[in-house]
Amino acid sequence: MIYFNNDYSEGCHEKVLARLTKTNMEQTLGYGEDEYCAAAAELIRKKCGREDAAVHFLVGGTQANLTVIDAALRPHQGALGPDTAHINVHETGAVEATGHKVLWVPHQDGKITAGQVAQTVHAHRTNGATEHTVQPKLVYISNPTELGTLYSLAELEALSNTCHELGLYLFMDGARLGYGLAAKGNDVTLPDIARLCDVFYIGGTKVGALFGEAVVIMNPAIAEDFRYLIKQHGGMLAKGRLLGVQFQALLEDDLYFEIAAHADRLADRLREKLRSLHVPFLVESTTNQLFPILPDGVLERLSETYVFCEQERVDETHRAVRFCTSWATKEENVEQLCADLQRLLG
Amino acid sequence: MIYFNNDYSEGCHEKVLARLTKTNMEQTLGYGEDEYCAAAAELIRKKCGREDAAVHFLVGGTQANLTVIDAALRPHQGALGPDTAHINVHETGAVEATGHKVLWVPHQDGKITAGQVAQTVHAHRTNGATEHTVQPKLVYISNPTELGTLYSLAELEALSNTCHELGLYLFMDGARLGYGLAAKGNDVTLPDIARLCDVFYIGGTKVGALFGEAVVIMNPAIAEDFRYLIKQHGGMLAKGRLLGVQFQALLEDDLYFEIAAHADRLADRLREKLRSLHVPFLVESTTNQLFPILPDGVLERLSETYVFCEQERVDETHRAVRFCTSWATKEENVEQLCADLQRLLG
Amino acid sequence: MIYFNNDYSEGCHEKVLARLTKTNMEQTLGYGEDEYCAAAAELIRKKCGREDAAVHFLVGGTQANLTVIDAALRPHQGALGPDTAHINVHETGAVEATGHKVLWVPHQDGKITAGQVAQTVHAHRTNGATEHTVQPKLVYISNPTELGTLYSLAELEALSNTCHELGLYLFMDGARLGYGLAAKGNDVTLPDIARLCDVFYIGGTKVGALFGEAVVIMNPAIAEDFRYLIKQHGGMLAKGRLLGVQFQALLEDDLYFEIAAHADRLADRLREKLRSLHVPFLVESTTNQLFPILPDGVLERLSETYVFCEQERVDETHRAVRFCTSWATKEENVEQLCADLQRLLG
Amino acid sequence: MIYFNNDYSEGCHEKVLARLTKTNMEQTLGYGEDEYCAAAAELIRKKCGREDAAVHFLVGGTQANLTVIDAALRPHQGALGPDTAHINVHETGAVEATGHKVLWVPHQDGKITAGQVAQTVHAHRTNGATEHTVQPKLVYISNPTELGTLYSLAELEALSNTCHELGLYLFMDGARLGYGLAAKGNDVTLPDIARLCDVFYIGGTKVGALFGEAVVIMNPAIAEDFRYLIKQHGGMLAKGRLLGVQFQALLEDDLYFEIAAHADRLADRLREKLRSLHVPFLVESTTNQLFPILPDGVLERLSETYVFCEQERVDETHRAVRFCTSWATKEENVEQLCADLQRLLG
């Protein structure tokens, strides 16, 4: 079987593994206080163009989300995101387990707008029972979104401005950030994100690392005492250097962006093939996730050779599915899939 | 510098690394639902002699502790341990962050007794304001303890009987379990632990793995829906197979026990040397942690070559310190330390 | 001004006050362990026809909701209710503050159906990422609902059967239960509720008491150690007898039902008047809350004399508002309002 | 039987009851937004000499403690108090249920010193694993303490200075504050407390009210959005005016201080009698709680007529017990007790 079901089916990029192997028997301080973490953090600060960024390495996305949100909010405050937000639907109530309600507005292609944020906050502040409802304090977005779409720079600027005018934090879940930054048509850079967000993370787990997310905190109110929160939530790896070593390997020669571009290019190849066959999409994504709508019969035939994800039923004879490419996807597998699609749909 | 400060200064054992390398580009299911996790769990069930054990792999000790305790307790219940318990003093209130108070009794060499548990529970139940105080429901012990000591089988049987007579769970933190099982004089086996505890874990982070603790749950009340709790607390690794691969490598040919025995043997060598030099110990440990009491001047000289941990000041001219051996400790380093001790104290 | 804005604008019924006055200087045990609480609990068990019911008196509705839900759920479980549920929209995330997500389905006139519950649970159990989402474990309904509507016995039976087949608890928020039981057309009795729900409460705050909700727990799994949870959540009144005294006064001669019937009768009077004037309603309620849709101009005139609540804008010239009667509403005030409505709309 | 077991065995002072009765059928806004609460808050601000104080009325002590502490702390921070602190031993882990560890130091007569606070904070900040342990951020004291003792102005000044130099909040639980302010030898005033504490409360439940604690917040960081926290923790009484009415009645003509002085005077009478009979005390209290150490035989005889609390066994034939006077204690009952003591011990 050929796996297109997600972007975390393999281990890590060979260069990352080589670095882990090379450093394996070195003795370092524990808990992320080693030189590899320091060097990786410095690399990230440089790429963000911000020496004042606080950088912390966490093991996974849910851990990063709950730790950041818990660090940012007082007890009566909530995180506002799209209904499709990962924290809302796919983390077993991890944010609620820290005591905070997840508030939401309807998504458009996985995204929310500055206008929605403003309207929600306005409604909260003027509803006559303000303190009987949860106070929106942090806006959670994913970029790329769960639907593979991207925020434009203009959208992000608007969100950031609205958040800051209203006294809210802007938090970007960047579990797939590499695939976003490398995507065709993307006009957002790491320095933009560092300028516009209060906190965000650069995802490693889905982009070439064994595991790991680099949390970048721009707002000192969130950064204060952040290591306590990592430890309290069970996120402080004894051998923290494993995260530093991996991010150093990924970022040193821009390996991270190169392998993300590889995945995006293969996704584009597949996307163009599907378009040429007049296959509609559930959503117009531009990154490594595609959501074509295909006839049940075709999907049945494809499932003999390929693993992919069910997304949703569209009508009685069609389903939207998800195909993912990744840093590890082989070009020949994409070509084989394109050929099979041509045969089945052409 | 030569590091004796802890047992997590290096990466992982070479055989573990080899297995991670060999399997790196394989595609597997995520979130621990792969075949490596299944195989490692099966190995653990076999070594425990209990096919009914539920086995889950978590990334680290604090994560394991908070997830198990949160799974086991209702809101008004607390975890009872020695004052020195890791959950009481070294996890930034991780257990309290899940809503539960850590209750404690004074330790004896890092351990607590069945009598102390019985007395605490009796005092709670008869104090006339029972529901105004936290209900003890789970007993937390570490084996080896934070002071390197071990529970005897008789002590463990007594604790287990008392817990079960009183309706409490017994939870063993086995972050250094390998070093305990391999220690001279130890009379407790994995099947004993599985028989006597409701839940325990086999620590990998400190015994040859990059990271990872294998949580073994014997009591179905704690095991129920445990994967939800792992996910909620941010402990579900996307590439869960990394844990399965490592534990399989460690347990397949009893590598885990072999490398633990190596560390214990080197600790014994150092312990005998110190004894022969009439050095007293803060506590009579038998595993890979030693707590000798040495003159300040000697410690100053040692610290030019060796890294070790401060434990506590004993009198105006003496301090207790911690020396740790590990799976990675080199025999020649121990010999060099013994020679230096002989020179300084002989 | 004449207040129709809610049912908690006054203190308590004169008979309740008389009883508080009469018992004021008596010395009793604290924390609800007095004879008044015992007697009131016994009265409630009798009226429910269930000697096995556990009865606890809490100060208010939010406190009752969060304490019951926290007592019932394990950490990964959530409470499922209508989107309009008080716990979802009007309690500042009190349930989330105990760590639990509030799940919801769209309401119909403030109610949810057995079918919706079954569908939600089925979707959760079969979604292929079950443990990545919150497990529905308790169904929260209000009766009367926030929109003044009532569950029929058949609807309640269906909900109860579905919950119990699926292993969920059924919890009825009865903050306005008296107004429901006394309403025209209601076919549900206290013994029905005790038979069909795992836990519910009989609201005092809105039905003649100064404050107080009588929580009735039928399911031993929720009842176990409930007093610990009351204390932990700050709900254990030192002078608990105040609650016992009030509920005894309310229930002894069915005062509770008599004063609720008074409110319902006045609501019916107002409802018929509005109907006779062809005023539409946002929802067809049958209890003490009415939601007429009136022209802005009429509302402006009414607001010179009456206090009422804004509910929602219906179109450019009409708004739905809420009028509430209560145990304290004076007949002449209702007649005056009817006369004014006739004048303005007739 | 005559009750000396606590100070909350009766209802409320007759003037409080009269005021509740008089205002009973008035219609007011709910949730503490009425004029009685406003007037009572203004009275408190005046008596504290601080127009900038934020005043909120809560139902009980545990509720006040958990709400204040949760409002004040970030997740990784803890509350530091004496081992005997009510939050540490008598609130079923209410503070831990909000996620925060209660830290403690040994008490001296129920009190802690500025030196202990400084030492604890210093130890935390220099222990080499700072972020692995809970950060002390708020100091919790009771005045009077659980042992009936009082902080002197000098002790309070020292505590306040130390807290503020170290960046900690100082929180005074004033559940029995009236009995402290009225005690012989007390040199602390309400304006002192307002000047020295970040937050404190004036207890009503034990000093003449049916229930209620007036929380006075001097530090804007804790005051911000405090009503959200009250609501979230289930502490927002629908008929909040009940609290305003009671505190207005208690404070208007200094009734609060007058009835507290009555209790203290009777306690002094009893204390002098015991001293004259050479009865030793567990602790030298000066307020309405006394802890005499008496022979078992005498206690047995006393228990035929009087209800009092067991405190602790002192030796094989003596126990320390607690006698409490209150606003409601009758002079003749104290005289009768003195006569009985004279007879038994004279």
Min distance A132 CA to chain C CA atoms (Å): 5
At C49-66, the pLDDT tens digits run 999 999 999 999 999 999
At A254-298, the pLDDT tens digits run 999 999 999 999 999 999 999 999 999 999 999 999 999 999 999
Min distance B312 CA to chain D CA atoms (Å): 11
Best of A101, A125, A224, A225 to disrupt the D interface (most D CBs within 10 Å) is: A225
Show which subunits contact A, needing at least 3 CB pairs below 8 angstroms: B, C, D
User: Is residue A239 less than 8 Å (CB to CB) from chain B?
Assistant: yes
Location of structure tokens 């009429």 = C298
Residues of A in contact with C6 (CB under 8 A): none
User: Is residue D237 less than 8 Å (CB to CB) from chain C?
Assistant: yes
User: Is residue A23 less than 8 Å (CB to CB) from chain B?
Assistant: yes
Residues C157-163: contacts with CB under 8 Å, at least 24 apart: C157/C196, C158/C113, C158/C114, C159/C112, C159/C113, C159/C114, C159/C117, C159/C196, C160/C195, C160/C196, C160/C197, C161/C114, C162/C114, C162/C115, C162/C117, C162/C118, C163/C117, C163/C139, C163/C198
Residues of C in contact with A78 (CB under 8 A): 93, 96
d(CA B327, CA B309): 18
Q: CB B332: neighbour CB atoms within 10 A?
A: 9
State the average pLDDT over residues B26-44.
97
At B101-152, the pLDDT tens digits run 999 999 999 999 999 999 999 999 998 789 999 999 999 999 999 999 999 9
pLDDT mean across residues, chain C: 97
At C187-196, the pLDDT tens digits run 999 999 999 9
State the average pLDDT over residues A192-215.
98
Angstrom CA distances, D190 to A233, D138, D155, D195, stand at 41, 20, 15, 9
Total-model pTM: 0.97
At residue B129, the pLDDT reads: 82
Residues of A in contact with D228 (CB under 8 A): 76, 131, 135
Q: Determine, for residues A234 and B62 on separate chains, whether the beta-carbon distance falls below 8 Å.
A: yes
Q: Indicate the SS3 state at residue C88.
A: helix
Pairing of β B169-173 and β B135-142: parallel
Residues of A in contact with B66 (CB under 8 A): 234
Query: What is the DSSP-derived secondary structure letter of residue D101?
Result: P
Best of A17, A20, A22, A24 to disrupt the B interface (most B CBs within 10 Å) is: A24
Pairing of β A318-324 and β A289-290: antiparallel
At residue A306, the pLDDT reads: 96
pLDDT band per the 50, 70, 90 thresholds, residue A28: very high
Q: Determine, for residues A225 and D74 on separate chains, whether the beta-carbon distance falls below 8 Å.
A: yes
Q: Which of B99, B135, B227 sits opposite C225 (nearest CB)?
A: B135
Q: Which of D17, D28, D59 sits opposite C59 (nearest CB)?
A: D59
pLDDT band per the 50, 70, 90 thresholds, residue C272: very high
Pairing of β B289-290 and β A309-315: unpaired
State the average pLDDT over residues C110-114.
98
**Nearest chain D alpha carbon to A230:** D131
pLDDT mean across residues, chain B: 97
At residue A323, the pLDDT reads: 98
At residue C346, the pLDDT reads: 87
User: Is residue C175 less than 8 Å (CB to CB) from chain D?
Assistant: no
User: Is residue C229 less than 8 Å (CB to CB) from chain B?
Assistant: yes
CA angle C276/C281/C283 to nearest 5° reads 135
Q: Determine, for residues B75 and C229 on separate chains, whether the beta-carbon distance falls below 8 Å.
A: yes
Contact B8, A238 (CB under 8 A): yes
Residues of C in contact with D233 (CB under 8 A): 94, 97, 233-234
pLDDT at B184 over 90: yes
pLDDT mean across residues, chain A: 97
pLDDT at D132 over 80: yes
Q: Determine, for residues B232 and A63 on separate chains, whether the beta-carbon distance falls below 8 Å.
A: no
Q: CB B105: neighbour CB atoms within 10 A?
A: 19
Closest CA to A247 of A177, A186, A183, A149: A177
pLDDT band per the 50, 70, 90 thresholds, residue C220: very high
ipTM of the complex: 0.97
Q: CB D208: neighbour CB atoms within 10 A?
A: 31
Q: Determine, for residues B231 and A9 on separate chains, whether the beta-carbon distance falls below 8 Å.
A: no
pLDDT at C233 over 80: yes
Residues of A in contact with C89 (CB under 8 A): 133
User: Is residue C227 less than 8 Å (CB to CB) from chain B?
Assistant: yes
Residues of B in contact with D69 (CB under 8 A): none
At residue C336, the pLDDT reads: 98
State the average pLDDT over residues A114-122.
98
Q: Which of A30, A91, A236 sits opposite B231 (nearest CB)?
A: A91
What interhelical angle do A331-345 and A255-276 show, nearest 10? 10
Q: Which residues, including other chains, have CB under 8 Å from residue D205's CB and lie 6 or more apart?
A: C238, C239, D8, D60, D61, D175, D211, D212, D213
Contact C320, C274 (CB under 8 A): no
- Amino acid found at D106: P
At residue D128, the pLDDT reads: 77
d(CA D293, CA D284): 12
Q: Which of D71, D99, D131 sits opposite A227 (nearest CB)?
A: D131
Q: Determine, for residues A131 and D227 on separate chains, whether the beta-carbon distance falls below 8 Å.
A: yes
pLDDT at A346 over 90: no
Q: Indicate the SS3 state at residue B14.
A: helix
At D315-335, the pLDDT tens digits run 999 999 999 999 999 999 999
**Nearest chain A alpha carbon to C75:** A97
At B195-236, the pLDDT tens digits run 999 999 999 999 999 999 999 999 999 999 999 999 999 999
Size of interface B-D (CB pairs under 8 A): 54
User: Is residue B75 less than 8 Å (CB to CB) from chain C?
Assistant: yes
The interface residues of chain B toward chain D in range 77-136, judged by CB-CB distance below 8 A, are 78, 89-93, 96-102, 128-129, 131-134
User: Is residue B168 less than 8 Å (CB to CB) from chain D?
Assistant: no
Min distance D51 CA to chain A CA atoms (Å): 23
At residue D346, the pLDDT reads: 87
User: Is residue A3 less than 8 Å (CB to CB) from chain B?
Assistant: yes
Q: CB B270: neighbour CB atoms within 10 A?
A: 21
Closest CA to C62 of C177, C203, C194: C203
Q: Which of C89, C91, C97 sits opposite A75 (nearest CB)?
A: C97
Per the model's pLDDT, the better-predicted residue between D128 and D43 turns out to be D43
- Residue C337 buriedness (CB in 10 A; 0-12 / 13-18 / 19+): buried
Q: Which of A21, A28, A237 sits opposite B60 (nearest CB)?
A: A237
At A120-168, the pLDDT tens digits run 999 999 987 899 999 999 999 999 999 999 999 999 999 999 999 999 9
pLDDT at C229 over 80: yes
Show which subunits contact C, needing at least 3 CB pairs below 8 angstroms: A, B, D
Handedness of CA C69, C73, C75, C77 (dihedral sign): negative
pLDDT at A313 over 80: yes
Q: Which of A78, A93, A97 sits opposite C93 (nearest CB)?
A: A78
At D62-80, the pLDDT tens digits run 999 999 999 999 999 999 9
Show which subunits contact B, needing at least 3 CB pairs below 8 angstroms: A, C, D
Q: What is the percent of chain B with per-residue pLDDT over 90, rounded to a whole number?
A: 99
At residue D322, the pLDDT reads: 97
Q: Determine, for residues C9 and D3 on separate chains, whether the beta-carbon distance falls below 8 Å.
A: no
Min distance D70 CA to chain A CA atoms (Å): 7
At B84-113, the pLDDT tens digits run 999 999 999 999 999 999 999 999 999 999
pLDDT band per the 50, 70, 90 thresholds, residue C44: very high
